[in-house]
Structure 1
């Protein structure tokens, strides 16, 4: 299942993503996440250049992978891709849930997150909206969790 969390800056998207990951993991699901870096004119910050795999990357490698005991990290040069391309090329684990933060215009099921009524109204025009979360009316996420658990039950 692919599920997007969309909203404007400082609307609580990352907080909700963390919550969903924890809920899914408590059910024993494997989860991958994809984040859109929406800050215009800024690129993502890469790991420090003094570690060996980043030395390889900075020397010109198109992809550099480092393997530790429990983790693997990959950095890849890439032109801007749409969400489907990112998922198809970069999500390399077998998982039941792919959570996406951002990519408002992509055509996957969405949870919209807003703090202001005007933002909620505007975001509700997006395609595939499955849930609308207003932090003021559900701050403890009780209603949201009921909905989420129903969505995730079939993924086990």
Structure 2
């Protein structure tokens, strides 16, 4: 399993925005990065009228779509099943193709996380300081973060990228593994 680090925080805190700002920098550093995103409710990536949508709607348990440039694997969960376990989802990434997984959400799981916190939202951090898996808090306001966690500037994606690269290079690589 490739190393994994998550971005957690309350809704609207900027988790996706931070990931989209850090990801190109990690790619520029030569890393092949995958993203695992948690969705709280149902979602659909397919579009009505497309063949893949039609066969899924007709009852296919799984649909694999492939072309020269991309592939996607859509699976249907039956009935009231729980969502797939976090580790099972991580195991779906191919370590031969992925150097790092950035996860968004999965706040209750035991894995390294950067908490995204905006004091202007009027909410305290969701996970830090109680969660020992929080390795940093990225915030756009003053916040005293005690070691071993570190405070990062939410508006400085290069700082967040640098922190992740140090972690991967050995300054904390063992901490970028799920528990």
Match of 2:18 in 1: 16
Which residue number corresponds to residue 29 of structure 2? Answer: 27
CA RMSD of aligned residues (A): 2.1
Aligned with 1:87 (options 90, 104, 109): 90
**C-alpha separation between the residues in 1 aligned to 2:15 and 2:61?**
31
2:146 is matched with none
1:105 alignment partner, SS class: coil
Indicate the residue corresponding to 1:132 in structure 2.
Answer: 137
**Match for residue 113 of structure 2?**
110
Contact residue 49 and residue 58 of structure 1 kept, 8 A: no
Instruction: Give the TM-score normalised by the residue count of structure 1.
Output: 0.84
Unaligned runs of 5+ in 1: none
Stretch deviating more after TM superposition (49-58 or 6-15): 49-58
- Say if 1:92 and 1:145 are closer, same or farther in 2 by CA, change over 3 A: closer
Structure 1 residue 136, shift from structure 2 partner: 3.0
Aligned length: 150
Question: 1:42-61, aligned counterparts within 5 Å?
Answer: 42-61=41-60
User: SS of 2:63's equivalent?
Assistant: strand
TM, length-normalised to structure 2:
0.74
Indicate the SS of the match to 2:124: helix
Residues 24 and 152 of structure 1 are in contact (CA less than 8 Å); yes or no, is this contact kept in structure 2?
A: no
Contact 2:21 2:157 in 1 (8 A): no
Alpha-carbon distance, 1:19 to partner = 2.1
Q: 1:71 & 1:77 partners in 2: Cα distance?
A: 20
Q: Which structure 1 residue ranges, 4+ long, deviate > 6 Å from structure 2?
A: none
In 2: Cα distance, 1:91 partner to 1:130 partner: 23
Q: Aligned partners of 1:142, 1:17: CA distance in 2, in Å? A: 12
Q: How does 1:66-81 map to 2 (within 5 A)?
A: 66-78=65-77, 79=81, 80-81=83-84
What's 2:162 paired with? Answer: 146
